[in-house]
Every structure is written in C-alpha cells, then in structure tokens.
C-alpha cells in the first residue's frame, strides 16, 4: 500500500497556503472596496474588476497545476465564489477564501484516490481519464 507521503500532489502544501493567502487578500480588498468606497460608486466598479481579476488568477493558477476549474466539482465551487463576489454587499463574505479551500480539498482528495492502493483507485484513474 502506498503511503500518503509517496503520493504526488499536483498542488503542494506550501502552494496551497499561498493560494489561500492570496484568496484572503482578495477578500479583504473586496471588503475595503465595498464598504469604504462603495458609497461613492467607485467601490462597486472596483469590486467587479477585482472579481474578474481573481477569477482569472485562480482559473489560470489551478489550470497550470493540472486541476482545471472547468471540471464539474471545481467549476461549481469557483462559480459560486465568483457569484458571491460579484453581488454588491454580499461580496463582503469570504467567497474566494472558501471556494479556494474547497477546490484545494477536492484536488487533494482526487490526488489521494488516484495515487493510493485503495479499491477506488482504479475507478478514480478511469474516471479522470475519460474525456467529456
């Protein structure tokens, strides 16, 4: 049986921490744009631009690591995060942080299933190789 230390993770623990840190920073910027500058209208426009930037950032980042956000599980998670962050006043919720943590958890679980000797490993490998 393969141990967890022998599994090749697409996104390392250090890079996961960096992704979560960037997501927290994006959430804090959106809170500042919404609550500090929202009353003059600039905050809402800046918040939408920030949403577009964050979507492109995480989309590219996950895709470069071999975990495309076009995948059903990650698409739903990142799509919900984008939706939360695009709606004024609701974008004060930590949508990027939560969706990044969930997407990283899904990616990590897929890596564990695909690289382990569990009975589900052959099924996980077959499912990941099927083109949609």
pLDDT by residue, tens only, the chain of 132 residues: 455 556 788 899 999 999 999 999 999 988 888 887 766 777 778 888 888 999 999 989 998 988 887 877 778 888 888 888 888 778 788 989 999 999 999 888 888 887 654 555 555 566 666 655
In a domain, 92, yes or no: yes
Q: What is the span of the domain harbouring residue 46?
A: 12-108
Q: Is the pTM of this model over 0.85?
A: no
In a domain, 123, yes or no: no
Residue 15 CB: number of other CB atoms within 10 A? 14
Number of domains in the chain: 1
How many angstroms separate the CA atoms of 45 and 50, rounded? 9
In a domain, 69, yes or no: yes
Output the pLDDT for position 126: 62
In a domain, 124, yes or no: no
Output the pLDDT for position 1: 47
């Amino acid at each position: 049986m393969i141990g967890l230390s022998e599994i090749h993770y697409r996104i390392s623990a250090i890079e996961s921490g960096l992704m979560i840190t960037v997501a927290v920073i994006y959430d804090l910027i959106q809170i500042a744009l919404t609550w500090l500058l929202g009353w003059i209208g600039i905050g809402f426009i800046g918040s939408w631009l920030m949403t577009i930037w964050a979507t492109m950032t995480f989309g590219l980042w996950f895709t470069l690591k071999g975990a495309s956000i076009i995948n059903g599980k990650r698409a739903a998670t990142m799509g919900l995060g984008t939706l939360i962050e695009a709606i004024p006043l609701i974008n004060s919720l930590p949508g990027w942080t939560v969706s990044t943590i969930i997407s990283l958890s899904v990616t990590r679980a897929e890596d564990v299933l695909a690289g382990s000797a569990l009975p589900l490993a052959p099924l996980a490998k077959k499912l990941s190789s099927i083109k949609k």
